[in-house]
Amino acid sequence: MPVNILMPALSPTMEKGNLAKWLKKEGDAVKAGDVIAEIETDKATMEYESIDDGVLAKIVVPEGSQDVPVNQLIAVLAQEGEDPKAAASAAAAAGKGAAQAKAPAAPVAKAEQRPEPAARPAATPASPTAPASASATAQGATQGANRIFASPLARRLAKTAGIELGRIRGSGPHSRIIARDVEAARSGQGLAPAAAASFALPVPSDDKIRALFEPGSYDVIPHDNIRKVIARRLVEAKLTIPHFYLTLDCNIGKLLAAREEINAAAPKDKDGKPTYKLSVNDFVIKALALALQRVPDANATWTESGMLKHHRSDIGVAVSIPGGLITPVVRHAEAKSLSIISNEMKDFAARARARKLRPEEYQGGSSAVSNLGMYGVKDFAAVINPPHATILAIGAGEERAIVKDGKIEAAWIMSVTLSSDHRAVDGALGAELMSAFKALIENPVTMVV
C-alpha cells in the first residue's frame, strides 16, 4: 500500500514547519536515505530523508508552504509494484484536507507506527524567516470547552498509566495527544503541572486592541513563526516556573587585566591572525560552569517525577538572531579551556545567524547565560529557558566608585542577576551558587588552575 509521508518533528520542540523546497518531483524514483525535501524547523533548515524505497506519486503540500503542522500529510510514496497514478488518486482527498490545514485521521495513526526519518543540516542557506525555540503547552491539548483531543490508543495508555490527559502536552496535529506523548509523560517529560494544565489567561482580541489606536496610525506586521514560538514559550515559562532573583556586583578589574594579557600572548595562525580572542562572556561561561561544579545541588532540572542532578556543566548561551534568539549549548564547559570556549562560541554564533545549527547543539543544557552588557544595560533579570533551572543575566562592566579600606576608589564593576526555578533551587542554594561564581569571576586565575 502507499506510504504516507508526514511533516516530521525534526526537534522535540517543533510544532509546525515550513516546506522550503522539494528536491524530488512527482514520478521520481526514491531510495531510502535520499534527501527529498528541505524543511525549516523551529530552529534551522533541515534535510528530510526518505525511509522507504518507491516512486514519489503525489506532492500534497507544495514547496514554499508555511506553518504546516507536524504529522500533516505532505506527500505520498508508491512502493515497489504499486501504480503511482493509483496511489496519487488515493491521496487526492487527503491532499484537499491538507490544503485546508487539517490533518486526516489515517496519517495520524501512521505517524504513531512509523519512525521519523533522520535529519541533518541543509547545505543551502536557511531562510531568514526560519523559526526559533518552541515548546508545546498543556493548553494546546485542549480545544473549546474543556475538550481534550487524543487518539484512542493514547487515551487507553493514559488511563492504564493513571495520567490525566489534561496534563499531557500533545505533539500531534493541532496539539492532539498521541501514544508517544503518553510514553513521554510516563517518564516525566512533556507533563505539565496540575495547576497549569487547566489554567487559561483571557487575552483581548486583535480587534479590541486595534480599536484603542487611531486607524492609519500604525502598520500591522504579521508574526512569523519565530515570534509566535518565543511568545508562547515565554508565557509558558512565566506561568509554570516560580522565578526568584538574586543580584550581586562583581569586581572584574583582575579579569580585564588577565583578558588583555592572555589575548596579547595568543599565538598566530599561518595568516598572522590570533588563534583566539577572549571576551568577558567567555570568562562568564567558564565561571558559571565551574560554580555549578562547586555547588552541584544547583546543577539540576525539575521534573514532576524527580530532580535531575547533572554531572556536567552544559551552558546555554543566548545568541541574538534576526527576529529572536537561540541558545547554543557549550557542552562540558567546566572542562574546556577559555580559548576553546571562545572559538566554539564564535562558531555557534555565526552558524546560529545562518540557521545552520544542528538540534543537538541547541537542545538541553543545565543552565544558561544571557549577556546584554555590550548594549550598556546595567542589570536585568532573564526569563528561565526550560529545562534549565537557572539563567545568569550579565550587565555592563563599568567604572564605579567603591569604598575599600575606608577610602573611595574607582573599580570596574559588573552586576549579575541569577533567575532561579524555586522548585529546584532554593534561595540559600542560589545564593551559594552566586557566591561561588563571584569568587571565580573576581579571581580568574582560579579558572585556569
Catalytic (active-site) positions? 422
Outline where DSSP puts E strands in 344-421: 367-371, 390-404, 407-421
Phi, then psi, of 442 in degrees rounded to 5: -85, -15
H or E segment and range at residue 160: helix 152-161
Say what the alpha-carbon torsion angle 98, 102, 104, 109 is, to the nearest 10 degrees.
Answer: 110
Phi, then psi, of 23 in degrees rounded to 5: -95, -5
Per-residue cell: 13: 520542540
Scanning 77-138, the segments in alpha helix (DSSP H) are: 84-90, 92-99, 105-113
Residues sharing a CB contact under 8 Å with residue 195, sequence separation 6 or more, in sequence order: none
H or E segment and range at residue 321: strand 319-321
DSSP class per residue in 408-419? EEEEEEEEEEEE
CA distance 447 to 259: 12
Burial of 268 (0-12, 13-18, 19+ CB in 10 A): exposed
CA distances from 24 to 69, 102, 140, 250 (A): 21, 24, 34, 57
CA distance 338 to 432: 24
Phi, then psi, of 443 in degrees rounded to 5: -130, 75
Which residues on neighbouring strands pair with residue 384, listed in sequence order? none
Q: How far apart are the first and last CA of the chain?
A: 64
DSSP code of 116?
Answer: P
Angle CA 400–401–404, to nearest 5: 125
CA distance 225 to 58: 27
